[in-house]
C-alpha cells in the first residue's frame, strides 16, 4: 500500500505543478496497477464461484478488499512498465527514431524513481559464484538451476537479463 499511496500523492503533486510528462507516466502506471487489480479480482471471483458449490462465496466488499495489490505486486507492475520502456527504447533506436527513444527514456527515468536500487555487478557476481558452488554446477547443463537460485536471492534487485548474463559469464562451459 505504501507504493500505491506514494504514486497517488505524486500524481496529485504533478497535477498541481502541471508536470505533463510525470503526470502522463503516473496516470499510465495507475492504470496498469488498476488493470492488475481487476485481473486479480476476476481470478478471485472465479475461484469464489467454484467454491460456491461447496461453501459460501466472497461478498463484493470482501472481493474488493482482497483484490487490492500488495507492495510486491505494485512493484511487479512498475517493473513491467519499466521493461516495456527499455524494450521500446531499443526498438526506437534500431529504427532511427531518437525523438521517441528520448521520450521513452524520460518516462523510464520517472518509473525508476519508484523501483528499489539495483544491485551492482560485483555483488551480483558474488551471488552467482555462491549459487554455482552451492548447486554444484559444473557445466551449462546446470544453467536453469543456478538461474533459479540466483533469481530468488536477487528478487527485485537485478533484472533477469543481468542475472542471465552474469550466470553465463561465470558458469563453466
Task: Tell me what pLDDT residue 112 has.
Answer: 92
- The pTM assigned to this predicted structure is 0.74
Q: Contact at 8 Å (CB) between 138 and 122?
A: no
125 versus 54: the higher-pLDDT residue is 125
Task: Tell me what pLDDT residue 128 has.
Answer: 86
Task: Tell me what pLDDT residue 106 has.
Answer: 97
**Res. 31 pLDDT band, cuts 50 70 90:** very high
Euclidean distance between the first and the last CA atom of the chain, given in angstroms as a whole number: 45
Among candidate residues 127, 125, 166, the one with its CA nearest the CA of residue 143: 166
CATH number of 121-170: 1.10.10
CA 45 → CA 28, 64, 68, 110, distances in Å? Answer: 25, 10, 13, 34
Q: Which long-range contacts (CB under 8 A, 24 or more apart) does 155-162 make?
A: 156/75, 156/79, 156/116, 157/116, 157/117, 157/118, 157/119, 158/118, 158/119, 158/124, 159/83, 159/118, 162/118, 162/121, 162/124
Residues of the chain with CATH 1.10.10: 121-170
Q: Is the predicted pLDDT of residue 64 greater than 90, yes or no?
A: no
Residues of the chain with CATH 1.10.1510.10: 2-112
Q: Is the predicted pLDDT of residue 58 greater than 70, yes or no?
A: no
- What is the CATH T-level fold of the domain 2-112, as seen in this structure? Hypothetical Protein Yqey; Chain: A; domain1 (1.10.1510)
Give whichever of 48-57, 59-68, 142-151 has the largest mean pLDDT.
142-151
Amino acid at each position: 500500500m505504501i507504493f500505491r499511496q506514494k504514486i497517488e500523492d505524486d500524481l496529485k503533486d504533478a497535477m498541481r505543478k502541471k508536470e505533463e510528462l510525470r503526470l502522463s507516466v503516473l496516470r499510465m502506471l495507475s492504470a496498469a496497477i488498476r488493470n492488475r487489480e481487476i485481473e486479480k479480482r476476476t481470478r478471485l471471483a472465479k475461484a469464489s464461484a467454484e467454491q460456491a458449490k461447496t461453501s459460501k462465496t466472497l461478498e463484493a466488499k470482501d472481493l474488493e478488499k482482497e483484490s487490492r495489490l500488495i507492495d510486491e505486486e505494485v512493484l511487479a507492475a512498475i517493473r513491467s512498465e519499466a521493461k516495456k520502456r527499455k524494450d521500446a527504447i531499443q526498438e526506437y533506436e534500431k529504427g532511427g527514431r531518437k525523438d521517441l527513444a528520448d521520450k521513452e527514456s524520460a518516462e523510464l527515468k520517472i518509473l525508476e524513481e519508484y523501483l528499489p536500487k539495483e544491485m551492482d555487478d560485483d555483488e551480483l557476481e558474488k551471488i552467482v559464484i555462491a549459487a554455482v558452488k552451492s548447486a554444484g554446477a559444473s557445466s551449462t547443463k546446470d544453467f536453469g538451476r543456478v538461474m533459479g537460485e540466483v533469481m530468488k536471492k536477487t528478487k527485485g534487485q537485478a533484472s533477469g537479463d543481468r542475472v542471465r548474463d552474469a550466470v553465463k559469464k561465470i558458469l563453466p562451459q
